[in-house]
Structure 1
Amino acid sequence: MNPDAGPSPSTEANLREQVVAALTEPGLAHAVDLVAWCEGEGSARTALVANHRGRVRLHADGRHEVLAGADPVADENPMAFLPYEREVADPSPPNERNAYPYAYRRLVSLFDDPDRSPDLAVVHTPSHWFVDEGGHPGEHGSLDVIQSRAPLVLSGAGVARLGYVDDHAWLVDVGPTLAAAAGVPLDGLVDGAGRTLDGAPLTQYVEPGRRKVIGILWDGGHCGDLLHLAEQGELPGIAQLVERGSALRGGAVAHFPSITLTNHTSILTGVGPGRHGVLGNVFYDRRTGERVVPNDASTWHRSGEWLREGVRTVFEMVHDNVPARMDGSPRTASVDEAIDRGADYSTMGVIRASGSTMGSGDLDSLLPDPFASRFVGELAHLQDEYFHWSSQVDDLGLQQMLQLWDSPTTAPDLTWWANVVTDAGHHAGGPRSAIARDSLRDSDRRLQAFLDHLSGLGVLDDVTIVLTADHGFESADPGCTGSWRSALDGLGVAVRDEGPGLIYLDTP
């Protein structure tokens, strides 16, 4: 809480306890997986997690101090539910069988922004169906391992050719890895204040150097299913990348909440939400009194405005360390990505210059016809509005990539290419559904087209490619309905619930 505007610490603690008690009632156990908050400062900072089963205090040294009942986050194994058959056999598991990787580190990061961090975070159970409150059949955002597991495939020049590897990384490692491979020295991987990043380059898989680097994000691409389909021969583009490099079966752990803008920003800055300031797809800023909604067609192009002072993007790191081109061609490019600050070329920059917004009639009329797309495998999926629009955006994204890579001489040193139809497919049906798997296949066809283009240029083996996502997915159960809203309303105090799941106390 802001001490200048909020209640006294004792009043705040009492209010928080009321909220925790209300949310951890056994009658809400089907909807509420966890409630979390932080206490203390500096080295004494702790994270607390509670649910209907018990309460625990997490310490920086890794200790779990159980305060009551059973530890709600006892299992922190980032490799849980592997091999993939284990995930398939136990989809959307309850708390007592679930895993919550690096719970302390991820929670502390969420609660470290003095103005924007919530007072409490509520985590949906994997099965919670909240379509009437903005949810979908496929969901993400949780602290749990499957919703937090993004794929990580590393390929091409300077990459260890190990195939499928039983290992994992962090999403905040991806940006530093891209930057180091593009020529940023290791001592240049710092924020604007010279502080060490939260992530580190994955030098055990990708050699630092000065090469052309391409980062590819398949938004919401489900790690287990992506690798499974690649091994089954159904995603030949992914299989081609793995053949030339390494794929981590444990993927890359997302920051919490495991949602889009939080983790796009973590990837492209190398720091967690408590430092970069994008606390969620929607959050509240106490200092400005503003409800911030960066994950919206009308605001994506403004996402850089919400980055905290001192935060640097990978595009800015490359600019600070890689010489400018004599011919004026872009050193860095950001295709269909909201967190584009510092990129020489960016889709969002074009949108900003146009004075329009994504989703507006003016710009949408310029998108290609998805019914004519050679990459959409099942036209019936275009009846889903999000899938329809995403297919258009991703086709346009491929066009931009082919233009940027018209010549290997003028191609950017660092290119970032975000794809979104995989998010649409997984939201529409959940992982392993027909529409989700077809969204992966559609994205793979676009990937193949681009890899074929690089091969035609003769540079496929000279480029470093990293493919990842921003989070995983789990399937909600239509029979697991209900809301915690009535429990909050029944307290009779001012409680702001953004997301839902980010709880701000005593806030108008």
Structure 2
Amino acid sequence: MTESLTRAETRDRAVDALTAAELAGIVDLVVWVDDVDGERVAHAANRQGTVRLRPGGAHEVLDGTDPIASEDPMAFLPYQREVEGEGPRVSTDNAYPYAAERILSLFDDASRSPDLAVVHTPRHYFPDEGGHHGEHGSLDVIQSRAPLVLAGAGVARSGYLDDHAHLVDVGPTLAALAGVPRDDLRDAAGAPLDGRVLDAYLDPSVAPKAVVGVLWDGAHCGDLLHLAEAGELPAVAWLVERGVALRGGAVAQFPSVTLTNHTSILTGIGPGRHGVLGNVFYDRETGERVVPNDETTWHRSAEWLRPTVRTVFEMVADHVDFQGFPRTACIDEAIDRGSDYSTMSVIRGSGSGTGAGGLGDRLPPADQSPFVRDRAYLDDGYFRWGVSVDDLGLAQVRELFADASRMPRLTWWANVVTDAGHHGGGPRSEMARDSLRQSDARLGVFLDHLAGLGVLEDVAFLLTADHGFEAADTSVTGSWRPALESLGVPFRDEGPGFVYFL
């Protein structure tokens, strides 16, 4: 950084460059945090104006028009409104739930938080920098809306509700269902979690014998519920009939990307506290570029958790006696610390230098999977790999539940093909819907397995995802990198979108 400019001055110049009219098609917002009268305050800007944001929805417009006109977490509902509203839209036609809270969390890590974050427009297509036909990562409501379904033992039967929750609520709710006392839902330093137990949807008169959390990575909330109501996802429909589905889903942390939200789900806290700020970020203290969302590094994810982090597996282990079988199990999930059984521990134990790539000889062949509807999608490498991983995941959970008397108290089962289908085709595409249907079929096999053991009514279920999805427009291309380079100062742009001035 040049000696004549402070970091704040450099940031302000970058904001001016990034909010220029010629970048409006690809830059939805630029966000950052600054100290105002001794208080950390969130800010957002684009070519329309600049706003100062405080928790609770307080907006102070500093210039032009408020670029975050709505924070409504129930925007674009019912689902038909989302379908009809799909297309190019400026930020004032969008919604950004809990904007201040989520921005402040992202910027709460002294060494890992960027100086500013650039938010892609919903239509930005950037394949040269890792983009796809379907995208997520934004602060906006659709990319931040993950499905949330609760069902089974310990859950009240309410059906579809016009309500919403937060992904940081998932971990505390799973822990509470598994028997962790409310006063122990804290981090390792004793501080309360960011999330809360979703008591409004629970039935305290029933204690489940086992709790199963299911994550369909990237599953689109609106389309998932639409297909379930249409009879195309019978396993999901079975869950809703025996529990509750929130139309507004669960609001992801920002950025609405995989590892940030997997970690938030399984710790009950936001990224500024748990330390996994994105799928890729920079740590100024160590000088390290951290890429946790990669098959070579997933098994190392615990290394990047901050010291005060406590996973849901560790919470449950503190309150469940070990009886010679896993108290907790973590299937195909990177954030596995504290679990008695986990796929990642198998990878770590193998000594493989390629991480999850070392599972290759254990993965069932995708072209022999009974769950794929259209085998043309297997030409997509990520989709093909996801099919194999999810088939192996089903085999693992069935093995873990081989004996009704030895069920894990808490099982977390992550599935990946839904992310591949939505990236490859975009939401509502046939590729995305194939991924949802096959994931539903796997879930159905597991439910039938539990029924065969005679324990189906004794189990609590929670189905969610880590983020939502929107479709990119292949005609909306470009990069903001030249605007940053024009500042003449050294920087890193990780993601892209996390901008660090060096």
What's the TM-score, normalizing by structure 1? Answer: 0.96
The number of residue pairs the alignment matches comes to 499
Name the residue aligned to 1:445: 441
Residue 456 (structure 2) aligned to one of 456, 460, 464: 460
**Matching residue within 138, 143, 146 for 1:150:** 146
**Following superposition of structure 1 onto structure 2, how do residues 334-345 of structure 1 map, counting pairs within 5 Å?**
334-345=330-341
- In structure 2, runs of 5+ residues without a counterpart are none
CA distance in 1, matches of 2:114, 2:478: 23
1:388 aligns with 2:381: no
Taking the TM superposition and a 5 Å limit, the aligned residue runs for 1:97-496 are 97-207=93-203, 209=207, 211-325=209-323, 328-356=324-352, 362-496=358-492
Shift of 1:62: 3.0
Partner of 1:64: 59
1:28-39 paired onto structure 2 within 5 Å = 28-39=23-34
Give the aligned residue type for 2:222. Answer: G
Code of the residue aligned with 2:239 in structure 1: it is: L
Q: Which amino acid aligns with 2:173?
A: T
For residues 386-406 of structure 1, the C-alpha deviation after alignment (integer angstroms, 9 at most, x for no partner) is 000000000000000000000
State the distance in 1 between where 2:142 and 2:354 align.
30
Distance 1:375 1:479 in 2: 34
Aligned to 2:11: 16
Using the TM superposition, give the Cα deviation of residue 235 of structure 1 relative to its aligned residue in structure 2, in angstroms.
0.5
Deviation, 1:185, is 0.4
Q: Say whether the 8 Å CA contact 1:394–1:419 is kept in structure 2.
A: yes
Asked whether the equivalents of residues 57 and 64 of structure 1 are also in contact (C-alpha less than 8 Å), the reply is yes
> 1:10: Cα distance to partner?
6.5
Tell whether the 8 Å contact from 1:351 to 1:358 is kept in structure 2 after alignment: no
**Whole-angstrom CA distance in 2 between matches of 1:201 and 1:464:** 14
After TM superposition, give the deviation of residue 365 of structure 1 in Å. Answer: 2.1
Whether the aligned pair in 1 keeps the contact of 2:50 and 2:62 (CA below 8 Å) is yes
- Please say which of residues 58-67 and 412-421 is displaced more in the overlay: 58-67
Superposed CA deviations along residues 30-72 of structure 1, whole A, max 9, x for unmatched, are: 0000000001289722101000100000123532000011111
1:94 deviates by 2.6
Using a 3 Å threshold, how does the CA distance of structure 1 residues 232 and 320 change in structure 2: closer, same or farther? same
Superposition deviation, residue 362 in structure 1: 4.3
Task: Summarize the Cα distance change of 1:334–1:233 in structure 2 as closer, same or farther, 3 Å threshold.
Answer: same
Change (3 A) 1:434 1:210: closer
Quick one: distance in 2 between partners of 1:431 and 1:361?
27
Q: State how far apart, in whole Å, the 1-side matches of 2:81 and 2:355 are.
A: 40
Q: Which amino acid aligns with 1:246?
A: V
Determine if contact 2:56/2:98 at 8 Å carries over to the other structure.
no
What amino acid is aligned across from residue 189 of structure 1 in structure 2? L
Q: CA deviation at 1:132?
A: 1.3
Alpha-carbon contact 2:57-2:98 (below 8 Å) kept: no
Aligned residue for 1:129, secondary structure, equals: coil
Q: What's the CA shift string for 1:217-249, capped at 9, x where partnerless?
A: 000000000000000000001001101100000
How many angstroms apart in 2 are the aligned matches of 1:152 and 1:337? 18
Q: CA deviation at 1:9?
A: 11
Provide, for residues 344-398 of structure 1, a one-character-per-residue CA deviation record: whole Å limited to 9, x for no partner: 0000000000011566664212210111111111111100000000000000000
**Residue 119 of structure 1 contacts residue 504 of structure 1 at CA under 8 Å; is this kept in 2?**
yes
The amino acid across from 1:239 in the alignment is: A
SS in 2 for 1:40: strand
Structure 1 letter corresponding to 2:444? Q
Greater shift after overlay, 352-361 or 394-403? 352-361
Question: Partners in 1 of 2:361 and 2:318 — Cα distance?
Answer: 37
Secondary structure at the counterpart of residue 263 of structure 1: helix
* Aligned equivalents of 1:56, 1:390: Cα separation in 2: 41
CA–CA separation in structure 2 for the residues paired with 1:62 and 1:439: 36
Residues in 1 aligned to 2:340 and 2:357: alpha-carbon distance in whole angstroms: 26
| Distance (Å, rounded) in 1 between the aligned partners of 2:360 and 2:133 | 26
Q: 1:218 to 1:9 in 2, by over 3 A?
A: farther
Per-residue CA deviations over 1:408-439 (Å, capped at 9, x if unaligned) read 21110000000000000000010000100100
- What displacement does 1:324 show? 1.7
Distance 2:467 2:3 in 1: 37
1:167-225 residue CA offsets vs partner (Å, 9 max, x unmatched): 00000000000000000000010000110000001011124546310000000000000
Contact 1:351 1:357 in 2 (8 A): no
Q: SS of the residue aligned with 2:310?
A: coil
Contact 1:358 1:364 in 2 (8 A): no
Asked if the contact 1:53–1:72 (Cα under 8 Å) also holds between the matched residues in 2, the reply is: yes
Residue 493 of structure 2 corresponds to 497
Identical residues among aligned pairs (%): 66
- The equivalent residue for 1:80 is 75
Separation of aligned partners in 2, 1:153 and 1:297: 28
1:3 paired residue number? none
SS of the residue corresponding to residue 122 of structure 1 reads: strand
Question: What is the rounded CA distance, in whole Å, between the counterparts of 1:81 and 1:358 in structure 2?
Answer: 42
CA distance in 2, matches of 1:432, 1:9: 51
Greater mean deviation of Cα atoms: 442-451 or 9-18: 9-18
CA distance in 2, matches of 1:76, 1:260: 22
CA spacing shift, 1:242–1:361, aligned 2, 3 Å: closer
Aligned-residue Cα RMSD (Å) equals: 1.5
Matches of 1:409 and 1:374 in 2, distance apart? 29
Give the AA of the match of 1:159: V
Long gaps (5+) in structure 1: 1-5
- Please give the TM-score of this superposition, normalised by the length of structure 2: 0.97
Aligned to 1:91: 86
* 1:327-352 CA-partner distances (Å, limit 9, x unpaired): x1000000000000000000000000
Task: Give the match's secondary structure for 2:405.
Answer: coil
Deviates more, 1:53-62 or 1:310-319: 53-62
